[in-house]
Amino acid sequence: MGRFVYSMNVSLDLRIEQVAGDNGAGEWIRIDEELHREFNARAREAALIVHGRVFYETMEEFWPSAREDASLPDFLREYGEIWTAKPKVLVSRTRRSADHNTRIIGGDDAIDQLAVLRRGTDGIIGVGGAALATQLLRARLLDELLLTTHPAILGFGRPLFDEYDMPIDLDLLEQRSFESGVTMHRYAIRDAGKGD
């Protein structure tokens, strides 16, 4: 069975956007070459990536063309290659088509479809998008959090999860520090899998 892993850049106060629509590109985020190479390695390890529509459209806007942009550093072009080639699932009620090795699921039973997908997948299933991660958390299907914490306190902005007010018990699986002051923590969610 696969494991849903929600990966996200966060501030110290667990915000993912300071301004609506900044799509993780705020000035508070410190992504240097060392950190991006770590992102590349983790993306390469994933068996599959599942994105909500907003997150997918942000990725789709940049990464497919980045892989061929000679003006970009090699580690960015490499991520463009990885993302574009990786099998992906887009969860959307409105999109009818998608490129870049992506299939679409939607409708009222999308979470049920993702539960079936999880049972039929071996390895890591990367999750992108706060709304989607919140739905998986509510359904007790989210297995892990991979939080890249940037040394900033935003005080406002979009939180890591949307409208989720229940305690979440976690077990620390891994931690790493980067020269930029960024830390990465991987946590297991203790009650994951109870939605299956």
Each residue of 98-142: pLDDT tens digit? Answer: 999 999 999 899 999 999 999 999 999 999 999 999 999 999 999
With b meaning 16 or more CB within 10 Å and e meaning fewer, what string describes 122-137?
eebbbbbbbbbbbbbb
Tell me what pLDDT residue 23 has: 56
Identify the band that residue 193 occupies on the pLDDT scale cut at 50, 70 and 90. Answer: low
Q: Do 104 and 128 contact (CB within 8 A), yes or no?
A: no
Computed on alpha carbons and rounded to an integer, the radius of gyration of the chain in Å comes to 16
pTM comes to 0.93
C-alpha 93: how far from chain center: 19
Tell me what pLDDT residue 17 has: 86
CATH architecture of 2-189: 3-Layer(aba) Sandwich (3.40)
What are the residue ranges spanned by the domains of the chain? 2-189
To 10 degrees, what angle do helices 110-119 and 130-138 make? 80
Host H or E run for residue 110 = helix 110-119
